[in-house]
A and B are shown apart, each in its own frame.
Chain A
Amino acid sequence: MSVKTWKLQEVEEPNLIEDQFDYSLPPKIRFDGPIYEEIDGQIVKFDPGEAVARDLVITDTTFRDGQQARPPYTIEQQVKLYDMMGRLGGPNGVIRQTEFFLYTKNDREALEQCRALGHRYPEITSWIRADKGDFRLVKEIGVKETGLLTSCSDYHIFKKLKKDRKKTFEDYLEVVEAAWDAGIRPRCHLEDVTRADIEGFVLPFISEVMRRSEQVPPELHAKVRLCDTMGFGLSYPGACLPRSVPKLVYRMIHDAGVPHEYLEWHGHNDFHKVHINGATAWLYGCNSLNTTLFGFGERTGNPPLEGALFEYIALKGDLCGINTIVIEEIADYMRSIGVRIPPNYPFVGRDFNTTRAGIHAGGLRSDERIYNIFDTRTLLGRPPRVAITDKSGVDGIALWVNDFLELKGKEKLSVIKIHKIARWVMDQYETHHRLTAISDKELEDQIKTHLSDHYARHQEKQAAS
């Protein structure tokens, strides 16, 4: 094999690859060619450009799967979260739908109060078992679309439902017909699909649902949600069914006849793959990705809604009306009602863009882009932070001080000017053998002591604003 010779290319200006790393947005996801997968002995070509041009949407299950993982939200909390979700998704309805349980009075009251807000998006749908009797609830509450739990693996059919495939097939179709009789669009939730016999049960069932959908008005056409209930899904090229996300999506579209706009992915994070599996489903043909706020959901959780939003922006190359700053508002609200978000959680954790290493702080001082993923200040209201320990170095301390005093450009204090604060910090560890990080309050006190003029000016500015 001959190895190409690579010649160093000297440049006058640094190559910051800004066509992908536009700091004002999450880095753009660009593709430089099609994707090929071998499916049933055929080479199938997927065009990522075509995928990105589709009407990709995010749906939400915070009030359903999200609530299965925690104590129930109060009605007021659900209304507040729903309202913020509406603002977050923007006027184009990127967060297109949400779903509610209907079994308790509180469930129904929450739905009613959310609906009373009058938001177009997210559209309100429901979730019920595949039980004809449950349609009474759906009709009474007046939603136009409902999820139906149509578990599809033999684990569920034989061992949970205690049926066989034929009985299950017939029972599910009966429920789908009942939905149509009630004037409601059914959304078949294929629970445990990544462990199901795709050709033996899933394709026969879904292709029959699609065939019957041709007999009903378009607004009642059945939808299909692929539920990777145990997180077994795999995004890897060449992976086998039933775990292959690309092959599952492809088979639904090409072999069962499900249109892109009626196909949705729902995942779980048992193997840390939840976000990438969801994005993969988008790329291979699902228009909808079902998510929850901050990934809270059954067991290890669901695709995180905020993760999906940034993936969406990165794929589309545009904000598309999404109001990203509301993500932090929702996170703050969640924390205020006692929800714990791990400090290192992407985008919203307390420390998601906090650096402790002095060498990283030095980089941040030179150019924020070096150690910050995108303009988090503008997109999330969260400028990059340094946490001060003995590892922060003088650069870290200077960064913290200038950030606190809101000094920019030439106004910024040099490391020389903050030397007394730096000495105090180092003495905490070297002389007093401290083991903990320095708190914001302690650093503020040091600024008050050693940079009293700057502190006073900052306080006046704060009071005036």
Chain B
Amino acid sequence: MEREEIKERVYQVISQVLKTAPEGIQEAHTFTVDLGAESVQSIELMAGFEEEFDIEMDEDEALSVQTVGAAIDFIAKYVN
């Protein structure tokens, strides 16, 4: 899967979970500080990614991902 496609779908999940417009999301944004994700939302994001990409992520590794860009790269490892 191409990185751009992963990025678009990641942005969709973030938008749904955090109720924020995809246009306002940047790869450099951190989930907690910039996008305001709280504890439950962080795991909802991870669950959303798992469902969207039909993957199963390692919990500790997944929760250590801080930024949108890092999430895209992390997911890319699983799907590719």
Instruction: Spell out A's residues near B (CB within 8 Å).
Output: 358, 393-394, 414-420, 422-423, 426
Looking at the assembled complex, report how far the CB atom of A61 sits from the nearest CB atom of chain B, in whole angstroms.
50
Known contacts A416-B47, A416-B62, A419-B47, A426 near B57 by CB under 8 Å: no
Most buried by A among B59, B62, B63: B59
The answer on a CB contact under 8 Å between A394 and B59 is no
Q: Are A394 and B62 in contact (CB under 8 A)?
A: no
Report the separation of the CA atoms of residues A426 and B59 in the bound assembly, to the nearest whole angstrom: 20
What chain A residues lie within 8 Å of B62 (beta carbons)? 416
Say whether B39 contacts A416, CB under 8 Å. Answer: no
A-B contact pairs, 28 of them (CB 8 A): A358-B39, A393-B39, A394-B39, A394-B40, A414-B59, A415-B43, A415-B59, A415-B63, A416-B43, A416-B46, A416-B47, A416-B50, A416-B57, A416-B59, A416-B62, A417-B47, A418-B43, A419-B40, A419-B43, A419-B44, A419-B46, A419-B47, A420-B47, A422-B40, A422-B43, A423-B40, A423-B44, A426-B40
Complex Cα gap A418–B46 (Å) = 11
Q: Which of B4-49 contact A (CB under 8 A)?
A: 39-40, 43-44, 46-47
Question: B57 contacts which chain A residues (CB < 8 A)?
Answer: 416
Distance in angstroms between the alpha carbons of A416 and B53 in the assembled complex: 14
CB-CB under 8 A from B59, the residues of chain A are: 414-416
Assembled-state Cα–Cα distance A410/B47 (Å): 18
Q: Identify whether the interface residues of A are mostly helix, strand, loop, or mixed.
A: helix
Measured between beta carbons, the chain A residues less than 8 angstroms from B47 are 416-417, 419-420
* Minimum distance in angstroms from B36 CB to a CB of chain A: 14
Interchain CA distance A394-B46 in the complex, whole Å = 13
Interface centre among A414, A416, A420, A426 (most CB of B within 10 A): A416
Name the residue in A358, A393, A415 with the highest tally of chain B Cβ atoms < 10 Å from its Cβ.
A415
What separation, in Å, do the CA atoms of A414 and B43 have in the docked complex? 10
Determine how close the nearest CB of chain B comes to the CB of A247; give it in whole angstroms.
55
Least CB separation from A393: chain B residue: B39
A418 contacts which chain B residues (CB < 8 A)?
43
Interface size on B, residues (CB 8 A): 11
> Is chain B's binding surface mostly helix, strand, loop or mixed?
helix
Rounded to whole angstroms, the CA-CA distance of A415 and B63 in the bound complex is 10
What would 9 more interface pairs be, CB under 8 Å, given A394-B40, A415-B43, A423-B44? A394-B43, A414-B59, A415-B59, A416-B43, A416-B46, A416-B59, A419-B43, A422-B40, A426-B40
Give the residue name and chain of the A residue nearest to B48 (CB). Answer: A419
- Residues on B with beta carbons closer than 8 Å to the beta carbon of A414: 59
A417 to B46, CA, bound (A): 9
Q: How far is the CB of A119 from chain B (nearest CB, A)?
A: 52
Which residues does chain A contribute within 8 Å of B44, judged by CB atoms? 419, 422-423
CA distance A145 to B42 in the complex (A): 68
Give me the 10 closest cross-chain CB pairs, A-B, nearest first: A414-B59, A419-B47, A416-B46, A419-B43, A422-B40, A426-B40, A415-B43, A419-B44, A416-B47, A394-B43
Note all chain B residues with C-beta closer than 8 A to A358. 39
Q: Which residues of B contact A393 (CB under 8 A)?
A: 39
User: In the complex, which residues of chain A have a beta carbon less than 8 angstroms from the beta carbon of B46?
Assistant: 416, 419
Q: What is the bound-complex CA distance between A422 and B47, given in angstroms?
A: 12
Set of chain B residues within 8 Å of A426, measured between Cβ atoms: 40
Closest chain B residue to A358, Cβ basis:
B39
Closest to B62 in A: A416
Bound complex: CA of A214 vs CA of B33, how far in Å?
A: 81
Interchain nearest-CB distance for A256 vs B (Å): 64
* B2 vs chain A, min Cβ distance (A): 25
Counting chain A CB atoms within 10 Å of each CB, the highest count among B44, B46, B47, B50 belongs to: B47
A418 and B59 CA atoms in complex are apart in Å by: 12
What CA separation (Å) do A415 and B39 show in the bound complex? 11
| Shortest beta-carbon distance from A41 to chain B in Å | 63
Question: From residue A430, how far is it (CB to closest CB) to chain B in Å?
Answer: 9
Q: Name which residue of chain A comes closest to B57, CB basis.
A: A416
Give complex CA distance A393, B50 in Å. Answer: 21
Question: In chain A, what residue has the closest Cβ to B49?
Answer: A416
Q: Which of B43, B47, B57, B62 has the most CB of A within 10 A?
A: B43
A419 to B43, CA, bound (A): 6
| B10 CB, nearest partner CB in chain A, Å | 16
Cα–Cα distance between A240 and B51 once the two chains are bound (Å): 71
Write the chain B residue with the least CB distance to A426: B40
A257: min CB distance to chain B, Å: 66
A33 CB to nearest B CB, Å: 44
* Chain A residues with CB under 8 A of B43: 394, 415-416, 418-419, 422
Q: Which chain B residue shows the least CB distance to A415?
A: B43
Per the bound structure, the CA–CA distance linking A423 and B42 in Å amounts to 11
The distance from the CB of A418 to the nearest CB of chain B, in whole angstroms, is: 8
**A394, A418, A419 — which one has the most chain B CB atoms within 10 A of its CB?**
A419
A417 to B48, CA, bound (A): 11
Closest chain B CB from A453 CB (angstroms): 15
Q: How far is the CA of A394 from the CA of B41 in the complex (A)?
A: 10
Interchain CA distance A93-B43 in the complex, whole Å: 53
